[in-house]
């Protein structure tokens, strides 16, 4: 395991590097498709390889509940189980425990929670979170963290930060597996002083990498970017920086501009299944009547399998008919777009032209309206909680 920084615009600006894992080198900046339950929805591993993905994300919480950690371990580990020979990062499941479980009890020992699937009670400690991820065999694993809502009061967020720090120490002591990196998670909500304290505390423990968590969960984008500007300068320059749960193209460009190396989010795959396809001008709703007789591909010039092979009219038809192929083709396109975005960003950093790329991207790409985005996010979170 290792991380090599190849180029950086400034100490806290856009950077390009290489993340070395037992399952190959991952060029950074990198976007990781989300495969929470050992699959990126609608796609096979060959699809991911064709797209150019090098690293995917899976989730300890979901895999613990089904099929069970022991099942995956008996099958030879997560890579073999899901037929993926690239790198894998597993989240500890902390966010899912706090966002999906209807009932939970938190102590310094861990968290007791009820499954969102069948209501059965479970217990997850920092030590167990590490043990389970070691059994899965992921290349990068995460500490267990407490995840309060974005609008929680400062005293309550401070309490969660302190507990996350104690849990991080326990995770560090419990981690034994060689060839596997353990990342800490900097918390603090939208409170700058708490973010600073968290970054300083965790960097003193010398983890292999550092994630920034508890953002993009309902707060304004301006607050997200402000917290990045507060936190990133306090993280080691020679270690990877991972912004959790962020995947809008405009947010990735701005995250890279502030020194982030790694991103993950279900947004590109989730919006694909809802017919929202990514282009360099912004999202396009394939359900719109304008695509009914469009002979050209959705995004002329796109080299993905979907755009090489099918017209926008065909995609429009598939979605109207609710054919399952619609979701696969849309997902291939959106993840191909994300891969192309990351390649362009990386090349621009290496060429010293990222500032120009960022300017051109912002002038061309039209993001989703902020009020609409927040409403959609809250609606999705509410649906996940049941």
What is the dihedral angle through the alpha carbons of 231, 381, 33, 237, rounded to the nearest 10 degrees?
Answer: 0
Tokens of 60: 């300890």
- DSSP letter string, 210-227: EEE-S-SSSS-HHHHHHH
pLDDT at 386 over 50: no
pLDDT of 99 reads: 87
Triad 194, 200, 201: Cα angle to 5°: 85
Question: How far apart, in whole angstroms, are the C-alpha atoms of residue 306 and residue 298?
Answer: 9
pTM of the model: 0.96
Which residues neighbour 126 within 8 Å (Cβ) at sequence distance 6 or greater? 110, 143, 144, 167, 168, 170, 171, 174
Question: For 8-52, how does the pLDDT look when each residue is reduced to its tens digit (9 = 90+)?
Answer: 998 889 999 999 999 999 999 999 999 999 999 999 999 999 999
Q: How confident is the model at residue 369 (pLDDT cuts 50, 70, 90)?
A: confident
Q: How confident is the model at residue 379 (pLDDT cuts 50, 70, 90)?
A: low
Question: How far apart, in whole angstroms, are the C-alpha atoms of residue 35 and residue 299?
Answer: 26
Question: How far apart, in whole angstroms, are the C-alpha atoms of residue 373 and residue 231?
Answer: 24
Question: How far apart, in whole angstroms, are the C-alpha atoms of residue 149 and residue 381?
Answer: 11
Question: For 127-181, how does the pLDDT look when each residue is reduced to its tens digit (9 = 90+)?
Answer: 999 999 999 999 999 999 999 998 999 999 999 999 999 999 999 999 999 999 9
pLDDT at 380 over 70: no
Tokens of 132: 């389970």
Percent of the chain exceeding pLDDT 70 equals 96
pLDDT at 233 over 50: yes
Question: For 75-106, how does the pLDDT look when each residue is reduced to its tens digit (9 = 90+)?
Answer: 999 999 999 999 999 999 999 998 887 789 99
Domains of the chain listed by start with CATH number: 2-265 (3.20.20.105), 273-364 (no CATH)
Q: Is 367 exposed, middle or buried (0-12, 13-18, 19+ CB in 10 A)?
A: middle
Question: For 314-331, how does the pLDDT look when each residue is reduced to its tens digit (9 = 90+)?
Answer: 999 999 999 999 999 999
If you ran DSSP here, which 8-state letter would residue 180 be given? -
pLDDT at 333 over 60: yes
- Beta-bridge partners for 124: 111
Active site residues: 91, 264
Do 45 and 279 contact (CB within 8 A), yes or no?
no
Percent of the chain exceeding pLDDT 90 equals 92
Question: How far apart, in whole angstroms, are the C-alpha atoms of residue 180 and residue 178?
Answer: 5
Question: How far apart, in whole angstroms, are the C-alpha atoms of residue 126 and residue 252?
Answer: 30
| DSSP3 helix / strand / coil % (the chain, rounded to 5) | 45, 20, 35
Question: How far apart, in whole angstroms, are the C-alpha atoms of residue 72 and residue 82?
Answer: 9
Do 13 and 4 contact (CB within 8 A), yes or no?
no
pLDDT, averaged across the chain = 95
């Amino acid at each position: 395991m290792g991380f090599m920084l190849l180029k950086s615009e400034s100490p806290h600006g856009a950077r390009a590097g290489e993340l070395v894992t037992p399952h190959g080198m991952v060029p950074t900046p990198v976007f990781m498709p989300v495969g929470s339950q050992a699959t990126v929805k609608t796609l096979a591993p060959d699809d991911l390889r064709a797209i150019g993905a090098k690293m995917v994300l899976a989730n300890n919480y979901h895999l613990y509940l089904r099929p069970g950690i022991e099942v995956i371990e008996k099958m030879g580990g997560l890579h073999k189980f899901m037929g993926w020979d690239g790198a894998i990062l597993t989240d500890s499941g902390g966010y899912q425990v706090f966002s999906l479980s209807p009932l939970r009890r938190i102590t310094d020992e861990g968290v007791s929670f009820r499954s969102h699937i069948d209501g059965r009670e479970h217990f997850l400690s920092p030590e167990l979170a590490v043990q389970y991820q070691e059994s899965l065999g992921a290349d990068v694993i995460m500490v267990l963290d407490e995840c309060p809502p974005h609008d929680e009061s400062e005293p309550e967020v401070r309490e969660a930060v302190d507990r996350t720090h104690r849990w991080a120490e326990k995770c560090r002591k419990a981690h034994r597996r060689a060839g596997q990196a353990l990342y800490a998670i900097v918390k603090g909500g939208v409170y700058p002083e708490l973010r600073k304290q968290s970054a300083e505390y965790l960097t003193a423990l010398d983890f292999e990498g550092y994630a920034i968590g508890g953002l993009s969960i309902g707060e304004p984008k301006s607050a997200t970017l402000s917290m990045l500007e507060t936190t990133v300068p306090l993280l080691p320059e020679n270690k990877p920086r991972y912004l959790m749960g962020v995947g809008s193209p405009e947010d990735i460009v701005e995250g890279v501009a502030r020194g982030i190396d790694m991103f993950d989010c279900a947004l590109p795959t989730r919006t694909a299944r809802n017919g929202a396809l990514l282009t360099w001008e912004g999202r396009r709703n394939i359900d719109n009547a304008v695509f009914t007789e469009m002979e050209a591909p959705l995004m002329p010039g796109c080299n993905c399998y979907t755009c090489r092979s099918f017209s926008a009219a065909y995609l429009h038809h598939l979605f109207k008919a609710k054919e399952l192929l619609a979701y696969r083709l849309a997902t291939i396109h959106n993840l191909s777009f994300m891969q192309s975005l990351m390649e362009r960003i990386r090349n621009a950093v290496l060429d010293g032209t990222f500032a120009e790329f960022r300017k051109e991207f912002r002038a061309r790409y039209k993001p989703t309206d902020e009020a609409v985005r927040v409403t959609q996010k809250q609606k999705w979170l509410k649906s996940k909680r049941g």
